[in-house]
Structure 1
Amino acid sequence: MLRRLAPYLALACLAIPCRSALARDNPPTSPTAATAATVSPQAQDLAWQKASAKFAPARKAILAQVAGHVSDGPFRPDWASLKGYRSPAWYDDAKFGIFIHWGVYSVPAFGSEWYSRNMYQQGTKEFAHHVATYGPQSRFGYKDFVPMFKAEHFDADAWAALFREAGARYVVPVAEHHDGFAMYDSKLSDWTAVKKGPKRDVIGLLAKAIRGQGMHFGISSHRAEHDWFFDGGRHFDSDVNDPANAELYGPAVDHLSKHDEILADDWTYVSQSWLDDWLARTAEIIDDYHPDLIYFDWWIGHPTFRNTLPTLLSYYYNEGAKRDGVVVNYKLGDFPEGAGTLDIERGQLTGIHATHWQTDTSISNDSWGYVEHDTYKSPTFIIHLLADVVSKNGNLMLNIGPRADGTIPQGAQDTLRSIGAWLKVNGEAIYASKPWRVYGEGPTEVVGGTFQDTKTKPYTAEDFRFTTGNGKLYAIELGWPAKNKVTVHTVTPDEKVTRVELLADGSHVPFTQDTHGLHLTLPPHPVGSDAYVYRITLAAPLKVSP
């Protein structure tokens, strides 16, 4: 079964040839590197376990808590039970959220948020940049960026106010990225934002500020991938091979796959100890911060997680059932269908999905985390994407990447505020809406699937997306017609229209109906808008998507 598309694994497997080729083409430059090149994945994992041994009592206590309460609610820790999950109403109604990639990788601000991995991948631009800028990885490794991550201008309240102004209804910061640095206060690591770097509980501060603005709070966990993320450093003289750094760099076992596109054929070593630690760390976040949403990146689809995931999901879903429900986002194929909420990364669906889903994309054109000289998507692009996704029963989670000092780039702020201004006027057609019997009409076809969101051609004035709510039909026009006249072909005479209004100002829009559709005579082109919403009243009850 196709479990993952090439773009991620192509990055993940970059510059990791077979061991014999490494020995031939990259002879060890020190005894440390020579030893690392011959150490088995099991031995590398044991080195990490040894470095993390002092956290064993706390880990054991959390796992006992999970075991004792995993079935305290409507769910059991098995896939048959978990397929009874449904996303909660608050999430289905929210439509628009903010994603935040912020961490130590914001310090080098080069390439992408995968700098932490690629700086150890020989032959990459990040590797060359690192050596030229900071020196060899044996003397200056990723760990040495941590003291530079001071977050001196971080203001959780200001961030939350901006996100509220942007029209977001939920916010999801990354609690731990692939780099293994926890942005929260953990009892299971010394490499946290409380103990090093910012010396503050970033996740705790954001949780309070975001909820204080009336939004829901979630977290993103990329801990699973950390098992192998620094493996490139095993193959030359780098600080990854120093046992003193094993707690931060993790096992760093070779991440190898027979086929880039088929995760089921991945034979990367994953120990039970790593799975237990992943479960404990995720449960710790649940118990300490009570997130309303958890977003998992793709590698939890690795077969070794299959027996651990049901325990975590049952524990979390049952905890969420005591309040107004929680969400787990997963990537295509990682869960049995129905056991969570599907996320299409940087992509769209070509039709209405039977259950609620989500797409996530970055406001930045080059990265999820902050990189210097980046550019940003236009408000029009994001608003059109939002309209398309919502018409198909989905949510949009839009990512931003703050600078290491905690400031949000002005270009990102400007786009967020423009989106918020549009939603303030037109949000009636977005928030708490439901799909119509068709999602839309027009000549522009969306390219479906992951990593396709920028491949769709620009929309035109003939492209409409439909939503329903408050007993009304909303037609969202993704352009303005040259002659101020337009026909909505999908609205047939069988659906007798009694009134059409321009939602922006409530003004009446003259119309006629015939077998070719609903013909609108529009007012002069509104200034400064990106999509135009018509509120349509029908004589008979709406026929909505099943």
Structure 2
Amino acid sequence: MAKQEQPMINIHRQNPPAWFKQADFGIFIHWGVYSVPAYAPVESEDFDTIKKHHSIRYMYKHTPYAEWYANGLRIPGSSVWQYHHEHYGDHTPYSSFAKSFQQTAQHVDVEKWADMFAKAGAKYVVVVTKHHDGFVMYDTDVANPQADDYHLNFDFVGELAQAVRKRGLRFGVYYSSLLDWTFTPKSIRTAADMMLGNDQSQTYLDYAWDQWHELINRYHPDILWSDIGYPVDPRLPQLFKDFYQAVPEGMVNDRWGSYPNWLRHSFNKPLFNLGAKIVTGRSNKGKDTPPLYYDYRTLEYTADWHGTDYFETTRGMDKSFGYNQYSRPQDYITADEVRQIVAKVRPQKGRLLLNVGPEKDGSIPPYQERILQDLAERQP
């Protein structure tokens, strides 16, 4: 007990629990208000290709991620901005989609989802509980001071957790810690915007702190999956202590820094590292500087990992995580390619977290469903 009371300097579980070592394949779920417009430009390349050949500014203006719709809408002239004004007019805010989503979301069948995931061979499921748009995917008791009733009015997350655990799968929660666009009106267009365009007020710090604890106390998730980063908060080590006390075999990913760790290895590395040093006062020399807090590393739309840590590569079935109704057959991965990725990363202490992006009513799009069925038909 005395050891647990000592201040935590860093977190890095080098020998994770057995369940995680065996979990070579999982399902990610991006479902939210962005599933209503369900749009991203299909002519954009996938994330890995964009980061290798384009600038960050290009990425945010032409993002293939439908779940970033709200940010694209804040960038005049972007693909999303043009689409929105053509289909919804000049006076329809993104937040107006929330009311219709609250209604259509009630049709979700989490038992059907869980059956499909288990039959496809998934060992764990991670669900988005709040993406960058700030909409919360369960009946939270933590009030958002910037957006009233901006959440689902039933316990979707709890129902899903029960359904997947009933089938022997582990359950994790994703939460956008650093970004919440209900608190910040400015668009993200550059690396500087990403590093500086987040709310550091005590109000937001308390909001994220309270909601993370709500997730831990309600659902006892096996994984805490933070995205982008975490605002500067001296209480962060205590959050992990509280989590491990509640879930001794729990795991945390690596996106808990005060600026986006994963961007450091993308786009213009020297320029980004210089900007990060100016903003944070820390130098980040070298190809890979591990974050302070993590149990395993995360990659996005690539399986090229050269480190020694346990890791996870994540990607959508097409070029988006959120549902994009305009995705074409050629944009989708095949079940055989899924198997190849799992076979590649497994010997390197890796796993694939493959995303499912449901439609606004919770139905899994036909093309995504076929991939899951194909995986189920050829289980080892």
Are the aligned partners of 1:97 and 1:396 in contact in 2 as well (CA < 8 Å)? yes
Q: What's the offset of the Cα at 1:172?
A: 0.7
- TM-score, scaled to structure 2: 0.76
1:78 corresponds to: 8
Q: Distance in 1 between matches of 2:14 and 2:245?
A: 10
Are the aligned partners of 2:67 and 2:322 in contact in 1 as well (CA < 8 Å)? yes
Identify if the C-alpha distance between structure 1 residues 195 and 310 changes in structure 2 by more than 3 Å, giving closer, same or farther: same
2:211 corresponds to: 281
Q: Does 1:330 align with 2:254?
A: yes
- TM-score, scaled to structure 1: 0.54
Q: Does 1:100 align with 2:56?
A: no
Identical-pair percentage: 31
Q: Give the residue type in structure 2 aligned to 1:122.
A: P
1:420 corresponds to: 376
Give the length in aligned residue pairs.
317
Are the aligned partners of 2:30 and 2:127 in contact in 1 as well (CA < 8 Å)? yes
Instruction: Give the match's secondary structure for 1:394.
Output: coil
Q: What's the offset of the Cα at 1:203?
A: 0.5
Identify if the C-alpha distance between structure 1 residues 284 and 85 changes in structure 2 by more than 3 Å, giving closer, same or farther: farther
* Aligned residue among 148, 161, 165 for 2:100: 148
* Aligned residue among 239, 250, 256 for 2:183: 250
* Aligned residue among 339, 345, 357 for 1:401: 357
- Choose between structure 1 and 2 for higher RCO, CA contacts under 8 A separated by at least 6 residues: 2
Q: What's the offset of the Cα at 1:153?
A: 3.2
Identify if the C-alpha distance between structure 1 residues 372 and 77 changes in structure 2 by more than 3 Å, giving closer, same or farther: farther
2:294 corresponds to: 339
Q: What's the offset of the Cα at 1:397?
A: 0.5
Q: What's the offset of the Cα at 1:96?
A: 0.6
Instruction: Give the match's secondary structure for 2:178.
Output: helix
Q: Distance in 1 between matches of 2:349 and 2:296?
A: 12
* Aligned residue among 306, 322, 328 for 1:369: 322
Instruction: Give the match's secondary structure for 1:280.
Output: helix
Q: Does 1:90 align with 2:19?
A: yes
Q: Distance in 2 between matches of 1:186 and 1:103?
A: 15
Instruction: Give the match's secondary structure for 2:229.
Output: helix
Are the aligned partners of 2:314 and 2:353 in contact in 1 as well (CA < 8 Å)? yes
2:311 corresponds to: 357
Identify if the C-alpha distance between structure 1 residues 319 and 73 changes in structure 2 by more than 3 Å, giving closer, same or farther: farther
Identify if the C-alpha distance between structure 1 residues 285 and 266 changes in structure 2 by more than 3 Å, giving closer, same or farther: same
Q: Distance in 2 between matches of 1:363 and 1:183?
A: 22
2:46 corresponds to: none
Instruction: Give the match's secondary structure for 1:116.
Output: helix
Q: What's the offset of the Cα at 1:339?
A: 3.5
Instruction: Give the match's secondary structure for 1:270.
Output: coil
Identify if the C-alpha distance between structure 1 residues 347 and 120 changes in structure 2 by more than 3 Å, giving closer, same or farther: same
Q: Give the residue type in structure 1 aligned to 2:374.
A: S
1:462 corresponds to: none
Aligned 1:270-309 pairs, distance under 5 A: 270-300=200-230, 304-305=231-232, 307-309=234-236
Q: Distance in 2 between matches of 1:224 and 1:255?
A: 13
1:120 corresponds to: 74
**Structure 1 segments of 4 or more deviating over 3 A?**
71-77, 83-86, 194-199, 253-260, 265-269, 331-339
More helix by share: 2
Q: Distance in 2 between matches of 1:215 and 1:336?
A: 28
Q: Give the residue type in structure 2 aligned to 1:169.
A: K
* Aligned residue among 300, 311, 320 for 2:247: 320
Identify if the C-alpha distance between structure 1 residues 390 and 160 changes in structure 2 by more than 3 Å, giving closer, same or farther: same
Identify if the C-alpha distance between structure 1 residues 177 and 267 changes in structure 2 by more than 3 Å, giving closer, same or farther: closer
Q: Give the residue type in structure 1 aligned to 2:238.
A: T
2:39 corresponds to: 110
Q: Give the residue type in structure 2 aligned to 1:361.
A: R
Which runs of no fewer than 5 residues in structure 1 stay unpaired?
1-70, 230-248, 426-546
Instruction: Give the match's secondary structure for 1:377.
Output: coil
Superimposed CA distance per residue, residues 397-423 of structure 1 (whole angstroms, 9 cap, x where no aligned partner) = 10010000111011111111222333x
Q: Distance in 1 between matches of 2:120 and 2:345?
A: 17
More strand by share: 1
Identify if the C-alpha distance between structure 1 residues 257 and 204 changes in structure 2 by more than 3 Å, giving closer, same or farther: same
Identify if the C-alpha distance between structure 1 residues 158 and 75 changes in structure 2 by more than 3 Å, giving closer, same or farther: farther
Identify if the C-alpha distance between structure 1 residues 313 and 294 changes in structure 2 by more than 3 Å, giving closer, same or farther: same
Q: Distance in 1 between matches of 2:339 and 2:131?
A: 28
Q: Does 1:383 align with 2:339?
A: yes
Q: Distance in 2 between matches of 1:406 and 1:294?
A: 23
Are the aligned partners of 1:83 and 1:336 in contact in 2 as well (CA < 8 Å)? no
Q: Distance in 2 between matches of 1:258 and 1:168?
A: 35
- Tell me the C-alpha RMSD between the 2 structures: 2.8
Superimposed CA distance per residue, residues 19-73 of structure 1 (whole angstroms, 9 cap, x where no aligned partner) = xxxxxxxxxxxxxxxxxxxxxxxxxxxxxxxxxxxxxxxxxxxxxxxxxxxx898
Q: Give the residue type in structure 1 aligned to 2:300.
A: E
Are the aligned partners of 2:13 and 2:295 in contact in 1 as well (CA < 8 Å)? no
Are the aligned partners of 2:205 and 2:233 in contact in 1 as well (CA < 8 Å)? no
Q: What's the offset of the Cα at 1:340?
A: 2.1
Are the aligned partners of 1:180 and 1:223 in contact in 2 as well (CA < 8 Å)? no
Are the aligned partners of 1:330 and 1:340 in contact in 2 as well (CA < 8 Å)? yes
Instruction: Give the match's secondary structure for 1:162.
Output: helix
